[in-house]
Structure 1
């Protein structure tokens, strides 16, 4: 009898354990590649081949093979994951159109310009913000390392050197990460490119390490040491005031066929003209066949387009490849394979126009950070914040939404408006952050200053660029809109990019729960609560959660969160104690959901009942007397 009972227990363990293990890892998937505990690093573009243009229903996409390099920090190897933003040009166009229609803005808001803006919106590609694994790539410095936990190919630990081929939408930022399981002994993350701050500034901030790499269907090499990518169409450039150097919106630019003297014939869905907007005065026109071309513009009444123009001496810090009336350039579609040292300058044309009276000075309304361009990522010891401003070399500051304090040092964007901040994790804010941009005088040397004017800042502006804090831990009470605790609420952590669940747990009877860093993504995320007392799931941002649970995060908006979390990690208890900020909850630190645990328990119970029933049935059918010996 003892032997049979032992066999029965072994059967239960053997049959039940695989399901428990599966339930434990089933939520892993994306969570394992998004967790703050994973080893991760940004890959940087060091080259690329731009293929043909693939038509879509609304806009053209550029085919590209990107040469990416970086480091796999995990001893277990890394999968390659790609993040892409939304279309920042859509935000710029929509904001300008709304302002023209509601009277907020009157400059360059005639009926023709409004019609042009509406046409621009119709042809925009609007990809969702996503984070997903790369299914195919070519390893240049070794062989494949097998398949990762999510079914994507892996690269071995160490230096990463790969080619990735894909189609890329214009005005969308793409970032690539090498992500793998944590090491028993963490490797040191390479410092990467970029320059540290000057003496006397905040040493915890590194400016420019993870900026925006601007490439085009004819890619430039503006920020070749950086990792992120955005696409523009060729030929491209800016229209600007020759005296103030401020970019000018609302200017029509037309591509002229030099042979006919008429607007070039361009196959749909592209077109031979564009209108500059508030985004750095940029225009983009695609050529689909080789030929000699000119550019013609319709300047505003305040300016003339003339060859008799003197440009401010400092223009070369922002503009290049100056185009004047009558200039002829030869252009052809990009070759299928870009040779080394390819000359991209022939695809770029900046256009100065001469003011008739006073030079044009950008309206403060037109100088802002583009909402859909901003993003942040926890890169281990630091958090990277980046985005794009609508004014070249604009001063950009990170300002607390509640505290109105400035985090780190303000930075100057590069000449296309891209900017980047790196803050040490211990100094990163735990409140929502606003990105505030201000015009700078491009005719003078840039001054290093953290002074920023917030008097005209409208925090209710739907286009205000903000990011939520990436918290290193979450602790507090799940509550409804009235502040009442949600007893036994299911708590889900969803990645903002793609809205997929990366972690799930359950609050206790008082609504209290805690999630450590291993259950939290390194990209932006939010919380979702479900409860029988709620008719629909309750969505809550990380800053909203902190505001409602301040006692678990100290009194400061930044600086204390990481050290507090590390102390909390050393505590462990199997009992709920919501009055103790550092207390741990076993149910909250599991890597699988409470729902799956409950299902697992029910199945195990049924399995035990079935096996006992089978055992009793066999016992009754066996007439042989049982004898036992010591």
Structure 2
């Protein structure tokens, strides 16, 4: 029996090793369909010195490779939805009404408000640019960038709409295709820190509903055009004052926070772990000397004194998803720094991925599309980290985290009991961004709609980006290179009715569950009967990835990114198996001893 047990463990570990080895192998999507919109990531960095806080106006250097020469490239800026909106769809715009109508089908410039773009600087509305060779390098001027917001830039080339050969009633309306492997290209957003956060000096948690007032050099209320003063903090404790410094000389300001349950003092009872998440600590009466274009940052501790320290459950502030080649990128912000963010199936409760937010609450997860379920949305679970009682934490040390995990499992095996963190479910919901669509057009009652007009529309604009017609059986397909990289929905219009049946991607998959299962169709991975429907990657591109350096950001890498998570899980599984094996052996030995005693 013991031999069989060890043989079972060996076989399990062998397959675990093989799956761990294969988990990191993912191909980039190939270039296809010159008639479609081609989307490529652009890397953004500030001209001159990187500013950690957003100035009133900033010039960015945008660079990217793989663009066609002598063809207009439209610069598109995408930002997550507003705080607490409950939406996970990006808002994107070129900053030009006419260019937006050409690319998105409608004017989306207001969705970037209050941000505005000038390309090149001084040119409004922005103009399309052209690549030199295969390289884009241009200067973009951003007006009124916001703190604590991620900004993602894309370069988009567009060909004229045309009828797709072999599909007589299928019209190409400028659909999307992503042209890079985000793992290679380093598709990252640029952002700036907030002007500051208000936090409890003892619990080290952000404090909501604090009134933060900006004072001028005479310590009286600062009244400036366009300035929101005072600010009321939300769950993340953040305040932002965008002051426009006139002339070349710096100006002096002061900040005055108020919370009836707390005291703003120069000598707060400050937990020594504060520097794990907060910095540039502000004290009463400290002058804030702000030079033009060089904003200042101040985190403010408030002392609860004899009152209970302020504590709250973490919440999602922003969240959004985009399909980048054969990956889905999820990103957002949470209210509490260093929180653990987990993506789970809405119905199955199966964990898909997790990461740790940085000290500003930012998080990003890149998941292979074949690891994302097609039949359910993903929800967020947020686990608050008790920074005040956390010891030995290092944001850039996955080895230390690994050691803590191992010690945690060892403590479980040795029956040591410790308090478990409580997770908070977010209302944010990530619907699957399907890579391929195949199935039947149905109404809300499940009835087939023969010869239905099928519309694919972007959530961000409700604009039409693909249209085709189902056959007499209601069957239709939408190939991978004809689908948006952003959230979209599907409409069915019956020939006998002008009313459109609007369904989400989740609803479409569930309505066609039987067909998809029988034909082994995975709409996330774009496979059918085990065969990929995605174009193969050209050998030249497969063996020669872009070696250009990826710009550094202020965000620490995920502890669970890449292959490290698989190694950690393998070792954890080994520890658990060894513990179980030890228990089984002790049980067998005990039974054998009891049998000997009876004899």
Q: Aligning the two structures, in what range does the TM-score lie when normalised by the shorter sequence?
A: 0.5 to 0.7
Q: Are positions 1:128 and 2:127 aligned together?
A: no
Q: SS in structure 2 opposite 1:485? A: coil
Cα contact 1:554–1:561 (8 A) shared by 2:
no
Shift of the alpha carbon at 1:73?
Answer: 5.7
Larger Rg computed on CA atoms = 1
**RMSD, matched Cα:** 4.0
Alignment of 1:541-580 (within 5 A): 541-554=504-517, 561-564=525-528, 567=531, 569=533
- The match for 1:297 is 257
Cα contact 1:90–1:126 (8 A) shared by 2:
no
Q: SS in structure 1 opposite 2:316? A: coil
Q: SS in structure 2 opposite 1:287? A: coil
Shift of the alpha carbon at 1:65?
Answer: 2.5
Shift of the alpha carbon at 1:126?
Answer: 10
- The match for 1:199 is none
Alignment equivalent of 1:161, drawn from 130, 133, 137: 137
* Equivalent-residue separation in structure 1 for 2:109 and 2:277 (angstroms): 29
Q: Are positions 1:175 and 2:158 aligned together?
A: no
Alignment equivalent of 1:368, drawn from 315, 327, 344: 315
- The match for 2:190 is 213
Alignment equivalent of 1:282, drawn from 238, 253, 262: 238
- The match for 2:366 is 422
Greater alpha carbon shift after TM alignment, 498-507 vs 152-161: 152-161
* Equivalent-residue separation in structure 2 for 1:548 and 1:453 (angstroms): 38
Q: Are positions 1:491 and 2:454 aligned together?
A: yes
Shift of the alpha carbon at 1:529?
Answer: 1.3
Residues 128/529 of structure 1: CA separation in 2 closer, same or farther (3 Å cut)? farther
- The match for 2:338 is 393
- The match for 1:47 is 46
Q: How many residues align?
A: 423
Alignment of 1:588-607 (within 5 A): none
Shift of the alpha carbon at 1:479?
Answer: 0.8
- The match for 2:576 is none
- The match for 2:431 is 468
Deviations, residues 133-192 of structure 1 (Å, cap 9, x unaligned): x99448xxxxxxxxxxxx94332454432212243564664321134589xxx9874745
Shift of the alpha carbon at 1:484?
Answer: 0.8
Shift of the alpha carbon at 1:77?
Answer: 6.4
- The match for 1:353 is 302
Deviations, residues 67-120 of structure 1 (Å, cap 9, x unaligned): 12232366886724414336524649xxxxxxxxxxxxxxxxxxxxxxxxxxxx
Residues 177/246 of structure 1: CA separation in 2 closer, same or farther (3 Å cut)? same
Q: Are positions 1:272 and 2:248 aligned together?
A: no
- The match for 1:598 is none
Alignment of 1:432-511 (within 5 A): 432-443=377-388, 444=390, 445=393, 457=425, 464-511=427-474
Cα contact 2:336–2:361 (8 A) shared by 1:
yes
Cα contact 1:374–1:386 (8 A) shared by 2:
yes
Shift of the alpha carbon at 1:281?
Answer: 0.4
* Equivalent-residue separation in structure 1 for 2:355 and 2:279 (angstroms): 23
* Equivalent-residue separation in structure 1 for 2:457 and 2:68 (angstroms): 24
Residues 256/570 of structure 1: CA separation in 2 closer, same or farther (3 Å cut)? closer
Residues 127/439 of structure 1: CA separation in 2 closer, same or farther (3 Å cut)? farther
Q: SS in structure 2 opposite 1:314? A: helix
Cα contact 2:453–2:493 (8 A) shared by 1:
yes
* Equivalent-residue separation in structure 2 for 1:415 and 1:211 (angstroms): 17
Cα contact 1:427–1:559 (8 A) shared by 2:
no
* Equivalent-residue separation in structure 2 for 1:504 and 1:384 (angstroms): 26
Shift of the alpha carbon at 1:274?
Answer: 1.0
Shift of the alpha carbon at 1:331?
Answer: 2.0
Deviations, residues 561-593 of structure 1 (Å, cap 9, x unaligned): 33338727499xxxxxxxxxxxxxxxxxxxxxx
Cα contact 2:522–2:528 (8 A) shared by 1:
no
Q: TM-score, normalised by structure 2?
A: 0.62
Cα contact 1:66–1:165 (8 A) shared by 2:
yes
* Equivalent-residue separation in structure 2 for 1:65 and 1:481 (angstroms): 50
* Equivalent-residue separation in structure 1 for 2:500 and 2:482 (angstroms): 20
- The match for 2:349 is 404
Q: SS in structure 1 opposite 2:202? A: coil
Q: SS in structure 1 opposite 2:328? A: strand
